[in-house]
Homo-oligomer: A and B are copies of this chain.
């Protein structure tokens, strides 16, 4: 456990990329173009923040790594599907993602639509077909958890609220409501699924849920600050697009300084919710630091 954070991250991500590549349908299996596009959408790198949170929560409770990898993959597939659909012309109309053409630009819109659909399906398939817990009932609860976090009262609902908010002035609580759904729900699910892999108790899950809520919101606040400040090259996606699209953000509502202050406060709250875990929560603490202090 004396491995530093960067090594821990690199090792997990490298291994996870191999796992993901093996879980996605092979590009040579029919329908080839769809399978190629699914792989294009998922295997383009990215920060893999959600899988790392899953691994850190799994480590905290001593879960077996292979189980955590399936959980992490399912969350990452949901995240990847949402990016593919959100980038489409009828949504955010983005042409660049992680420095490369978005899926509908590289392929076509119909393929991108099916890629998103199929990645979502695969996420649930992974949670159902691999053993993630000795208790099948707990595994059903994990599937329910991911579904609730992703659906119309979770991530997809947050995206709907986001779309409806374009050009409107939201209050800070309304903006928070949107982000708790749009990005927060899946981040929380990533953490809780990792903990479930190691038979976490309700008390542990409750603390981790609070941690996830703080970290998820902090993630978004920092995103808004970065979007307002960074340039496109550093960000790997089109910078300044929130302002261009007339979308309310923490920066437009609070200003950059207050938004930074809010991120710091959330960071503190997140760390406090880990206090009782002691040293076992080291990786979660480091990830919270990374999320708040990152520059891209």
Measuring CB to CB, which residues of chain A are less than 8 angstroms from any residue of chain B?
25, 29-31, 33-35, 38, 81-82, 85, 88, 90-91, 108-111, 113-114, 116-118, 120-122, 124-125, 127-129, 135-137, 139-141, 143-144, 147-148, 150-153, 156-157, 159-161, 163-164, 177
Contacts and interface: CB of A to CB of B under 8 A. Distances in A.
13 contacts: A30-B177, A31-B160, A34-B156, A34-B160, A91-B110, A114-B152, A117-B120, A117-B156, A125-B148, A128-B143, A128-B144, A136-B137, A136-B139
A118 to B, nearest CB: 4
Contacts of A143: 124-125, 127-128, 143
Nearest to A125: B147
Contacts of A81: 117
Contacts of A35: 152
B140 A128 contact: yes
Contact of A163 (B38, B110, B125): B110
Contacts of A25: 152-153
Given A91-B113, A157-B30, A121 B38 contact: no
Given A25-B152, A90-B108, 7 more contacts: A34-B156, A34-B160, A111-B163, A113-B113, A125-B147, A128-B147, A129-B140
A33 B116 CA distance: 22
Nearest 6 interchain pairs by C-beta? A125-B147, A136-B136, A90-B109, A121-B151, A128-B143, A118-B152
Contacts of A153: 25, 29
A203 to B, nearest CB: 23
Contacts of A164: 31, 33
Contacts of A29: 153
Contacts of A177: 30
Nearest to A81: B117
Contacts of A108: 90
Contacts of A150: 121
